[in-house]
Structure 1
Amino acid sequence: MGLNRRKLLGTCVMAGLGLVWAAGPTLAGPEEKAKAMVAKAIALYDEKGEAALQVFNEGAVSGFLAGEIYIVVESRGPDGKVLAHAAAPKMIGTPLAQIADPTGKKFGVIMSMDATEAGGWFDYQWPDPTTGKLGQKKSWAVLHKDFVFIAGFYAH
């Protein structure tokens, strides 16, 4: 009986290791998660139009807020505003020119002006909604139909 238990335990351990190994390469890092969040938001926008903005603002229940990664949508240009914000809906309507990190960097304006359809990374400081602490944030921003779709993560 003891031998069968060892064999069963060994089989379970090996199966478990196989699952961990098999799952390892498919686990996305924060960069991939941020890019996937933006792609998902753009797909919903293409399906629902501006009604998608309200969905984004529903936060975690909508699937557009997952821990520190969340969707933000801005209008484009020097007079751009926050149109959707999954982690802080109170920011909706805020002019981008009024948003700056502690160093004075107006990252919203920068992303609004410099984002392209191919997408790009932008760095700035911003409070982490999961900890409330200021952190170095890296965001993926994509220009799509005159809106900028953004999701990022904090360098820990």
Structure 2
Amino acid sequence: MTKLLHGCAGAALAALFTLSGASAGEWATKDEAQAMVKKAVAFIKANGAPKAYETFTKKNPDFIDRDLYVVVYGLDGKVLAHGANDKLVGKDLLDSQDVDGKFFVKERVDLAKAKGTFWQEYKFVNPVTKKVEPKQMYCEKLDETAVCGGVYKL
């Protein structure tokens, strides 16, 4: 199941790169990830969660930048919005593991509960290279959710 999720997410992101004209040398930065998450949190507060989640999931260009997109998790591990793979919305990913066996969604939810704002490291399929690479996810807790955006450590 986890490999399937990685493959689906990778395929979806590859399609995003094709549509946006991004190339393998164009990656979002940690500062851009933080700014994107802060913009997403402000959008949720201004427009309400239902509208915001729909906006993020429909790949609104305001919330996608190259390999960077918004993901929102409930603190139960359920995906509430996903800017790269709408098929994951509504799924409980608490038991998802990266290639090293790290339960990255469970860790993300636990960090949101404990810290509120944090960076998390794990491994995920890079949509351009199709290889599993180190990734960093920046998240902010908002009510009973974690609003996140990630970058590859290249």
Superposition TM-score, scaled by structure 1 size: 0.74
> Is 1:141 aligned with 2:121?
no
In the other structure, the counterpart of 1:101 is: 98
Task: Name the Cα RMSD after superposition.
Answer: 1.5
Consecutive unaligned residues in structure 2, runs of 5 or more: 1-27
Higher Cα radius of gyration: 1
Structure 2 Cα separation of the partners of residues 130 and 151 of structure 1: 17
Matched residue SS, 2:139: strand
Cα distance, 1:130–1:44 mapped onto 2, change above 3 Å: farther
- Contact residue 124 and residue 135 of structure 2 kept, 8 A: yes
In the other structure, the counterpart of 1:70 is: 69
Instruction: Give the counterpart of 1:120 among 102, 118, 129.
Output: 118
Q: Which has the higher contact order (CA 8 A, sep 6+)?
A: 2
Shift of 1:135: 1.2
- Contact residue 73 and residue 84 of structure 1 kept, 8 A: yes
- Contact residue 87 and residue 129 of structure 1 kept, 8 A: no
Consecutive unaligned residues in structure 1, runs of 5 or more: 1-28
> Is 1:57 aligned with 2:57?
yes
In the other structure, the counterpart of 2:17 is: none
Number of aligned residue pairs: give it: 124
Shift of 1:80: 2.2
> Between the two proteins, what is the percent identity of the paired residues?
31
Shift of 1:140: 0.6
Superposition TM-score, scaled by structure 2 size: 0.75
